[in-house]
Copies of this chain bind each other. A is one copy, B any other.
Amino acid sequence: MSNIHAVIITIGDELLIGQTIDTNSAWIAQQLNKLGIDVVRRVAVGDTKDAITNALDEELQKASLLILTGGLGPTSDDITKPLLCDYFGGKLIVNEKVLTHLKEMFAKRNRPILERNMKQAEVPDVCTVLFNDMGTAPGMWFEKDGKIIISLPGVPFEMQHIMTNVALPRIKDHFPGDAIVHRSVFTAGEGESFIAEKLLDIEASLPNHIKLAFLPDSGFVKLRLTGKSTNIEQLTAEIEAKQQEIATRLGSIVIAMDDMPVEKILGNTMKANGKTIGIAESCTGGYIGHYITQVAGASAYFMGSIVSYDNSIKQNVLGVKEETLTTYGAVSEETVIEMAKGAMKVLNVDYTLSVSGVLGPDGGTGRVKVGTVWMAVASKDEVKTKEFRFFYDRERNKEMAAKNGMLFLWKFINNKLSA
């Protein structure tokens, strides 16, 4: 087992009052993990000298690699750079490369460069600069008693850019270590407990260096195997054998052998079969189209979506009959069938998915309860329908409807609907 332990420290009052969700830590953790470095803790502290200094003191005792993000902006609530300079006993000096880059950035955007922006070119003379060609705040690399401390801006794409291009390669050189291998099995249709019960003996049979975790999300359950070893070939073979054993045991509820989102699973099917899809969505408001187009290259198979939020659009664009809407309502099997068939014509595709429901908090009626979502999938020859019930709030119900809709379409296209 490797002894390289990392701690991620995020700095900023906005994290402590909940105004910002910390996505940086998760991203950094993923990257370090690939290098075989364990993140043992993540700590968020406010923009005060005491809080930051205290976190540095404490976490340096627990880890050999600290990654700090945030606190490097041009405004006066950002105090991290001078603090780090003091902490490591240096003084601030202008870095000419950073200064030139700053001037160019402002010129390109036709904005005047201010004194406080120029200050961003100052760096402690006791650090190595991690050049930030996507933004104004440079990253910094400090070494102390054999430990590494890296400070990065908090803006996610700037942080990611510096990490990928500069910091991670340096970290890899500095800490050559054990390999970590992850393998996943992605399931839909059964709960966490039920699956755990079916895998009791397999879980018990795992060697000490392989762990199994259960990660439920929006009606899906991801199973993740994680192993660590110096021998990456042997570990990979071992962990893939366990992955296969689990998949065989779980049978038809397995939808992928990878940790990938449903839109990617659907996209892979479409890229392989050369067919096209289109959507007719109501309550999801465009969210399904959004998910599908998160996949680069989706234009090869995704033609479009008719977001028919109002009934007039269902009638005028998709050709749903007024009679159907008045007799059965917008949230009904009859309506989603006509939506899916209408979309086949309007979008001229091989397969369609239609979705109409009541996500809440209001909009329920005696006939249709909040959380009810009807869906239909259609091809040239066939239409299938399904009624879903989601029990949560508007936002979560929408996410579940979108993800389950893509899964429904994927199953239909792959002839797995009876499963």
Spell out A's residues near B (CB within 8 Å): 13-23, 25-31, 33, 38-46, 51, 55, 58, 73-77, 111-112, 114, 116-117, 134, 155-157, 182, 191-194, 196-197, 203, 211-216, 222, 224, 226, 259, 279, 281, 283-290, 292-294, 296-299, 302-310, 312-313, 316-317, 346-348, 361-363, 391-396, 398
Judge whether A21 and B18 touch: CB under 8 Å. Answer: no
Judge whether A43 and B40 touch: CB under 8 Å. Answer: no
Q: Which of chain B's residues have a CB closer than 8 A to the CB of A76?
A: 196, 203
**Bound Cα distance A298, B310 (Å):** 10
Residue among A20, A304, A312 with most chain B CB within 10 A: A304
A292-B303 contact in complex given A21-B23, A30-B17, C-beta closer than 8 Å = no
Q: Which of chain B's residues have a CB closer than 8 A to the CB of A42?
A: 15-16, 42-44
A305-B303 contact in complex given A16-B29, A290-B287, C-beta closer than 8 Å = no
Q: How far is the CB of A5 from chain B (nearest CB, A)?
A: 11
Which B-chain residue is minimally distant from A15 (CB atoms)? Answer: B42
Judge whether B45 and A41 touch: CB under 8 Å. Answer: yes
Q: Which of chain B's residues have a CB closer than 8 A to the CB of A211?
A: 13, 77
Cβ-neighbour of A286 out of B289, B296, B316 (below 8 A): B289
A15-B26 contact in complex given A77-B214, A116-B197, C-beta closer than 8 Å = yes
**Bound Cα distance A75, B212 (Å):** 10
Q: How far is the CB of A318 from chain B (nearest CB, A)?
A: 10
Q: Which of chain B's residues have a CB closer than 8 A to the CB of A316?
A: 346, 348
Q: Which of chain B's residues have a CB closer than 8 A to the CB of A309?
A: 289, 293, 298-299, 302-305
Cβ-neighbour of A293 out of B15, B111, B286 (below 8 A): B286
Q: Which of chain B's residues have a CB closer than 8 A to the CB of A18?
A: 25-31, 33, 39
A75-B196 contact in complex given A224-B19, A293-B286, A304-B313, C-beta closer than 8 Å = yes
Q: Which of chain B's residues have a CB closer than 8 A to the CB of A347?
A: 313, 317
Judge whether A192 and B75 touch: CB under 8 Å. Answer: yes
Which B-chain residue is minimally distant from A16 (CB atoms)? Answer: B39
**Bound Cα distance A169, B380 (Å):** 56
Judge whether A317 and B310 touch: CB under 8 Å. Answer: no
Q: How far is the CB of A287 from chain B (nearest CB, A)?
A: 4
**Bound Cα distance A39, B316 (Å):** 53
Residue among A15, A279, A289, A362 with most chain B CB within 10 A: A289
Judge whether B157 and A393 touch: CB under 8 Å. Answer: yes
Which B-chain residue is minimally distant from A309 (CB atoms)? Answer: B304
Q: Which of chain B's residues have a CB closer than 8 A to the CB of A212?
A: 77
**Bound Cα distance A45, B293 (Å):** 34
Which B-chain residue is minimally distant from A317 (CB atoms)? Answer: B346
Q: Which of chain B's residues have a CB closer than 8 A to the CB of A114?
A: 193-194, 197
Q: How far is the CB of A399 from chain B (nearest CB, A)?
A: 10
